[in-house]
Homo-oligomer: A and B are copies of this chain.
C-alpha cells in the first residue's frame, strides 16, 4: 500500500463552497463506477450524497434515519449497509473504526490508505496522505516481514481550528 505525494491541506478545514465540493465528488463517483463497470444506483447515490453533505463521519443508523426522513417509506439496516459496502468496495468512502462511522473519500481514484485526523471537539475527520509517513509504515512492516493488505491510521485529538477557538465538545 503506497500513497501519492500530497500537499497536506484539509479541504474540509478551509472555507469553501461545499455544494460544489459535493457535486464534484458525485461526478467523480460516477466516473469511478463507470470505469469499474459498477452500477451507481439512485440509492447508492443518495447515500453517498448524504455522507458528503455531512462534514462529520456519519453512522449507519443516522444515515438510515436521514434516508427514511427523505423518502416516506421506512428503510431497514441492510439497505443502508449494502449501499455502504458497495461504496467501500469502490473506494468512494472510508469507515472510521474508532467512530463506527463513514466519510467520503477525498481522492477515490488513486490507490491509497485510510488515514485520518479526528477532532474530539468539532467531530471533523480530515483525510491525509503523506509520503514520508507511508514510507515509515512500509519500513516498519518490512522489518517484521509483514505484508500489508489494508491500513487504518486514526489520530484523535484537536484540530487547529478548535485549538484556536476553544471549540465546544461534540453533541
The reply on A120 being an interface residue by CB < 8 A is yes
By beta carbon, the residue of chain B nearest A134 is B136
Instruction: Please give the number of chain A residues whose Cβ is less than 8 angstroms from any Cβ of chain B in the complex.
Output: 38
Q: Chain A at the B interface: mostly helix, strand, loop or mixed?
A: mixed
The reply on A66 being an interface residue by CB < 8 A is no
B140 touches A150 (CB 8 A): no
- Complex-state Cα separation, A112 to B149, whole angstroms: 25
B132 touches A136 (CB 8 A): yes
A149 touches B145 (CB 8 A): no
B145 touches A163 (CB 8 A): yes
**Which residues on the B side are within 8 Å of A146 (C-beta)?**
117, 119, 126, 155, 157-160
For window 69-117 of A, CB contacts with B under 8 Å fall at 97-98, 117
**Which residues on the B side are within 8 Å of A15 (C-beta)?**
none
**Which residues on the B side are within 8 Å of A163 (C-beta)?**
145, 147
